Amino acid sequence: MNAVAGALHDGWVVTKRNLIKIKRVPDLVIFSSIQPIMFVLLFAYVFGSAIHPAGVNYKDYLMAGIFTQTVAFGSALTAIGLADDLSKGIVDRFRSLPMSRAAVLIGRTTSDLLNNVLVVVVMSSCGLLVGWRIHTDPLRAAGGLALLFLFGYAMSWIAAVIGLSVRSVEVAQQAGFLWLFPLTFLSNAFVTTDGLPAALRAVADWNPVSSVALAMRDLWGNSAAGFGRGSGFPANHPVLMAVLWSAAITAIFLPLSIVKYRRAASR
């Protein structure tokens, strides 16, 4: 218990340090918001003009997908931030202090989670402007957001492993983003998976991004019975799958990143 309390205390100190950076370098939030806003506008009007799903407004369908993609991309910040701290020797300083070994990772993932919240707030306003609406109650609305941030937090731990493996900020920038394109596009985030070849379709339907997006749509009344659900177990239990995916990712990558942190920093 003592170790957990220590990790939380020290993790919060490091979180505050990272948040100060968001405050001092506001360009960072501004630019990490511009891309999702751009995506909302482009997809809503370009794809939206071509795709007319039966029973649901495409803008309603789209927003859950873009939210999911955005928090996934937000995880790249974790990779970049950790690579930066390692290369500047700040991690060495931290490791020579009598503080929790998990604090740097907890602090990084927590501040990136808060950054994600900030970006999602900006995007929601944009979505509301172009005509997206949540059609259910506040409880379900909050439930959808909770699933979204849980998934973003889980993704941060994958990114942590990447950032600690590459150790250079430039490589982290590339490696942290690259894999996110297939991950987010090979899903139901923007269009239905129904038209994909069978093998790809299975991948897309079991993609955690699909489950998270579908879960949010269901919770927000943004989904239509026949459109973009995919098939099989994930199509019928998106909320369960979203929770399981996030839990599984965290369970694998959190301990892995702590092991990586110890090794990376002691080279």
Residues that bind another protein (CB under 8 A): 10, 13-14, 16-17, 20-21, 24-25, 88-90, 92-99, 103, 265-267
Min CB(20)–another protein separation in Å: 6
Min CB(88)–another protein separation in Å: 7
Question: Rounded CA gap, 153 and 40, in Å?
Answer: 22
Q: Which CB, 49 or 266, lies closer to another protein?
A: 266
Min CB(112)–another protein separation in Å: 15
Min CB(90)–another protein separation in Å: 5
Q: Which CB, 89 or 197, lies closer to another protein?
A: 89
Question: Rounded CA gap, 189 and 21, in Å?
Answer: 31
Assigned token pair, 91 = 């991690």
Assigned token pair, 179 = 């894999």
Min CB(253)–another protein separation in Å: 24
Min CB(247)–another protein separation in Å: 30
DSSP 37-82: HHHHHHIIIIIHHH---TTS-HHHHHHHHHHHHHHHHHTHHHHHHH
Min CB(71)–another protein separation in Å: 24
Q: How far is CA 264 from the centre of its chain?
A: 24
Question: Rounded CA gap, 229 and 90, in Å?
Answer: 46
Q: Which CB, 17 or 237, lies closer to another protein?
A: 17
Q: Which CB, 10 or 60, lies closer to another protein?
A: 10
Q: Which CB, 14 or 150, lies closer to another protein?
A: 14
Assigned token pair, 164 = 């600690």
Q: Name 65's Cβ contacts closer than 8 Å, sequence gap at least 6.
A: 187, 188, 189, 190, 213
Q: Which CB, 13 or 178, lies closer to another protein?
A: 13
Find the DSSP H helices in the chain: 2-24, 27-42, 48-50, 58-74, 76-87, 90-95, 103-130, 138-166, 169-178, 180-185, 198-206, 208-220, 233-236, 238-265
Q: Which CB, 19 or 252, lies closer to another protein?
A: 19
Angle between helix 138-166 and helix 58-74 axes, rounded to 10 deg = 30
